[in-house]
Structure formats: C-alpha cells, structure tokens
Amino acid sequence: MVGPDGLEAVIDWELAHIGDPMEDLGWLCTRAWRFGSDAPVAGVGPYDQLFDAYAEASGRPVDRDVVLWWEVLGTLKWGIMCIMQARAHLEGLSRSMELAAIGRRVCENEHDLLLLLEPDALAAAIARPAPTGGGAPGLHGRPTAAELLEAVREWVAGDVREQASGRVGFHSRVAENVLATLEREATMGPAMEADHAARLQSLGVADDLAFAAGVRDGSLNGDEVVRAMAESVVDKLRVANPRWFA
C-alpha cells in the first residue's frame, strides 16, 4: 500500500479468506512469526498494545480467549503447512533442500502447542537432561558419521558462506542448519529412539500410528500420555533446533 508519504504497508494476500477477524490477530501472535523475539505480537509488541489499538481503530472489541483459540489453531496450521511443504519435496513435486529442511520444523509447532496447552508438562520435559554420548566408532571407525557431518558443516559455514551470495548464500545457511541437525541426530538419536520406544511400550502401543489413533479415539489420555508426548517432542526439538527453547 502506497500513500502520500510513500510506502505505507506490505500486505501478503497468500492466505486471504473471509472469516472471523480475531483469526487475523491470532495468526499474527503465532510464535513462528516472532523470529526469536520474546514479544508475542509478531516479535514486536505485547498483546495489550495490539488489542487496544485494534479495538480503537476498528470499533470492535477484542475477546482475548477467542484470539488465544485462533493462536492455538494457527500454530497447528503452520505445523501442517510444514508437513505439506516437506511432502512436496518427498513426492517429487518440487525437489528442494529448503522444503526438505522445513519438514524438521514440525516439532517446533508441537512444542508451541504444548507451550499453549500443557506448559507444565513441557517445562518438566525440558528439565530432563539431554542424552549424551553416542556416535561411537563402530565398523567404519573414525571419523564417525557425526564427525564427518561436523567437518562438512564447518566447510559450508566457512568457505561456502564466505564466497556465496544471493540464493546460494541463503541455501548455504539452510545446508549448515541441516548438517547441524544431522550431527545432533547421529550423536543423540539412538538413545532418543530407545527412550521413545520405551514410552510407547509403557502406554501399551506399538508405534506412533497406534499412539495417534489412541489419542484420537480417547483410549489414550491423562497425565502419562501428555508426559510421553512432551518428552518425545522435546527430544525431537533438541535435534532439529535446540535454539527454539531459548
């Protein structure tokens, strides 16, 4: 939007649709758009300032509970969108390292949903110490898989990023993050997989599909289910993006 004084605003129409105006506020407050800031409104301000300004400008009162509902749904929606973008790569519709990497961001949204819905269980899961060790030399000796990934990541972070710009420069940063994720998975992954399998066994289910089906039909519920879910989400995020905890 351009006014007498120049550029007034930039509007993204990609997801525009008719709906509850409170949905716009909830979407704006979704944590994914804070980019590391503590400010809940798109990383730039507090809830009260947004709600008061919106009510004054629109003449429409803001129902905080309704906005929170839309914030929860927006968090879930962004997680589903991450899955869809990764599937575009996996199914060959658009082969892209960036789209593939986005698939590992689903656990960020799982974390954020727990933060909104079950903050105590999430805090307890985060307080658990992360697995250590792993990546020990086996048949192939050293360098281990984790050490090879570390070497390639350091090269991408150094030589490649120093000489790349534009699209290649951006994707070098994506590649660096992907390699760091794989490093952490090579080191902590086996212990995390064992812990996850033990949690499912303790709940009487064989795999993630059975767990999801039990949650959906109500046969799995209660504090133990929430605890198991939170611990597995935290482990996934420790591998995918530990900075998300900050």
Per residue in 13-72, pLDDT (tens digit) is 888 899 999 999 999 999 999 998 999 999 999 999 999 999 999 999 999 999 999 999
Would you state the pLDDT for residue 14? 82
Model confidence at 191, in pLDDT bands (50, 70, 90)? very high
Main-chain dihedrals φ then ψ at residue 117, nearest 5 degrees: -105, -35
30 contacts: CB under 8 Å, gap ≥ 6: 71, 74, 75, 78, 112
Model confidence at 76, in pLDDT bands (50, 70, 90)? very high
Does 203 have pLDDT greater than 90?
yes
Per residue in 133-180, pLDDT (tens digit) is 666 688 899 999 999 999 999 999 999 999 999 999 999 999 999 999
Model confidence at 186, in pLDDT bands (50, 70, 90)? very high
Contact call for residues 176 and 150 (beta carbons, < 8 A): no
The angle formed by the CA atoms of residues 193, 197 and 202, to the nearest 5 degrees, is 150
Would you state the pLDDT for residue 214? 97
106's tokens: 């689903």
The angle formed by the CA atoms of residues 159, 164 and 167, to the nearest 5 degrees, is 140
Mean pLDDT for the stretch of residues 114-137: 89
Give the domain ranges of the chain. 1-117, 134-245
Distance of CA 110 to the CA centre of its chain: 7
User: Residue type at 76?
Assistant: L
Longest dimension (CA), the chain: 70
